[in-house]
Amino acid sequence: MIENPIIKGFNPDPSICKHMDNYYIATSTFEWFPGVQIHHSKDLKNWRLLAHPLNKVSQAGLLGIPDSGGIWAVSLTHADDKFWLVYSIMREHRAFKDVRNYLVTASEIGGEWGEPIFLNASGFDPSLFHDKGGKKYVLNMVYDFRNHHPWNYGISIQEFDVTKQSLVGKPKIIFKGTHLQKTEGPSIYLINGYYYLVTAEGGSQFGHSVTVARSENIMGPYEVHPDNPILTAWYSPDNYLQKTGHGSLVETDTHEWYLTYLASRPIKREGKGLFEERGFCTLGRETAISKIYWENGWPYVEGGKVANRYIEESQLKEVKWGRGPEKHMFRQGLPIDFQTLRVPFTKKMGQISEQGLTLFGQESLYSIFEQSLVARRFESLNFVAETKVSFSPESFQQMAGLLCYYNSKNWTSLNVTYDENRGKILTLLSCEAAALSWPIRGSEVQVLSGSEIYLRVTVNSTYYQFAYSFDGLYWDGLPVKFDTYKLSDDYITKPFLGPTGSAFTGAFVGVHCNDMQGTRKGATFEYLSYHEVAE
């Protein structure tokens, strides 16, 4: 069996692409750099992170992008001996959607991707369809900011001219959506003479769904599936997988059909209300898969509309990938599953040496411009992360340590800093809904000047707790426990949190160094380990 999710941790909006006997899934990365994650599989069951195609500022200029802005839903295809990647850069996503849609190409999936070609700015979730005869079309939802309209104006299509490297003609609205509204995430597939339009509807939260329409003409009109939506968890609040939507179809060489889509695994809590009933998704929106069968020319999900944790695997030969090390020694470079915020890892941010990773302090953890922070995704709600840091601060404005991070206004850090009366200290700093809590009573530990220190965080589905050690053998836990569910888009978007709402990512664990004096004081981290434990 295949166990869902197939790609764990924050990996939303999966776009699946087949080339020869390889399967690739591209997912959104929002404000994290480099942009877009591409995972690779031979059997649809075992996946490995292969590439980050948007690894240059010219391809993904994210400086100053708001939390949960940046690289939104992507579309990955292969045609004409090259890979095509279409993506959005969302600059502002509150009342208005200030977005730019781009196209990049590459001859090899893990090779160098070209400079971006601007497409349009009318809405997000662009995709590229390669029609018979060689024509190409760009689709995207058209965002409608007017209050009496349900998020968008419909799905737009426009021809892309490869020679001119631009859209030509006028865009046309080909689909206004169903009663579920909030129609987005369009992709077209030409199958047995029909153009099938797969969309996401119902919003990006618990009502998220996959809907299908079809037409014999790419320009429509489109008739809707007789049993839409084909996938949703809205009517099953206790299902293991929630928020299922944003689907992408693929046919294997064994003539089997599968649907990839985003899904979340919530933490349930006592209480009344939508989020208490449905849960809080600290792991963010992950990537799942279901098998498809066809009936009367329409696709259906095997097992019904609700996504299953276990599904039938394909007839493809299984190919397993080796697991990476749990302990990443930074002197060997930054692992592929580690990312930075908004800007690339350069000499301004840090350097790699025999001692490990040195981060030069930049702006605060509040900043949406230049931070020195390197982190990886939570992939489980039961793990231990650990690092060893050497840091000699000279001011309370300098700090470095281990953190659990959702966005710039929601995070917790165990860090080494300085107090003018006590000298070098270890302390907890917490930020919830932009409200800073420091110092946290009972969290301060005096640290000898010049000493190295080990930092650890233990995470489970209820709480996470920090600890420290001077020798890496004997650990002292700090008495404060933090709620794991608060590192979730569901908690952050609750109405009482006000302007810090609109969250679409997931929790990360990593290391950081801040120097609000602007002197770029450096902290050296020897390693970061991430070890999952049994529930």
Active site residues: 13, 184
b/e sequence 140-153, b meaning 16+ C-beta within 10 Å: bbbbeeeeeebbbb
Q: List 413's β-bridge partners, or say none.
A: 403, 429
**Phi, psi (degrees; rounded to nearest 5) at 433:** 55, 40
User: Which class for 444: exposed (0-12), middle (13-18), buried (19 or more C-beta within 10 A)?
Assistant: middle
Tokens of 197: 């339009």
Please give the biggest Cα pair distance in the chain. 77
Contact in structure between 524 and 357 (CB atoms under 8 Å): yes
User: How far is residue 70's CA from residue 332's CA, in Å, rounded to a whole number?
Assistant: 29
User: How far is residue 33's CA from residue 53's CA, in Å, rounded to a whole number?
Assistant: 10
Contact in structure between 44 and 349 (CB atoms under 8 Å): no
Which positions ≥6 away from 117 have C-beta within 8 Å?
102, 103, 104, 165, 166
User: How far is residue 142's CA from residue 99's CA, in Å, rounded to a whole number?
Assistant: 11
| Residue whose structure tokens are 């700093």 | 429
User: How far is residue 472's CA from residue 487's CA, in Å, rounded to a whole number?
Assistant: 27
Write the CA distances from 472 to 10, 387, 443, integer angstroms: 30, 10, 19
Q: How many CB atoms lie within 10 A of CB 189?
A: 17
Contact in structure between 362 and 514 (CB atoms under 8 Å): yes
Nearest to 4 by CA among 323, 338, 231: 231
In the three-class reduction of DSSP (H, G, I as helix; E, B as strand; rest coil), residue 521 is classed as coil
3-state secondary structure 384-413: EEEEEEECCCCCCCEEEEEEEEEECCEEEE
| Residue whose structure tokens are 């996504």 | 307
Which of the 8 DSSP states describes residue 345? -
